[in-house]
Amino acid sequence: MKRPAVFLDRDGTLIEDLGFIRDPSQVVFHPKTFSALRRLHDVALFIVTNQNGIAKGQLRAEEARRVNDHVVRCLAEAGIEILNTYCCPHERMDNCECIKPKPHFLRVAEREYGIDLAHSWVVGDHPADVELALNAGARGIYVLSGHGQKHKPELKVFCEIVRDIGEAAEIIRAGTLYEVP
């Protein structure tokens, strides 16, 4: 049986967007990240992040992996399981298959983890995040944290718009796309 999931952007959504984060010591979680994700214990959680700094030479793939692993480890220590972290290392001009808003990683999760994309959510602070939701047949929630306020005028798709991950979790918990036990 397929199950719903929440696909979370990393920078600006779960953690502060401080540019090209090279070291786990630079990670600063948003104040509501832990409490919000604990409320989503009944859905599969994933992180989907574009890290174009790798392609630009501003960040090494190993540095991005260490930061991603640190985020997942901190969440696990708080009782929050992230099933997988998907990281696109390309620039938009590379025209790869994995950069948001292309649904490649969500399709991988659908196959490998039995995810029901029609009953899933994508949460992020860039228009590409909610466009990703649309492209995968999921529902998008746009957060105004991170770069959300700055990029809000660029939104071209209908989605929920909220202040932060805390409000996004409330919408998902109350969502009509699946029943919360």
Q: Which residues are catalytic?
A: 9, 11
Q: Which two structure tokens, joined as six digits, stand for 91? A: 């620039």
User: Which residue, among 9, 14, 76, has the nearest Cα to 47 in the 3D structure?
Assistant: 9
What is the torsion angle, in degrees rounded to the nearest 10, for the CA atoms of residue 31, residue 35, residue 37 and residue 38?
160
User: Residue 147: phi, psi to the nearest 5?
Assistant: -95, 10
User: Which residue, among 167, 169, 165, has the nearest Cα to 30 in the 3D structure?
Assistant: 165
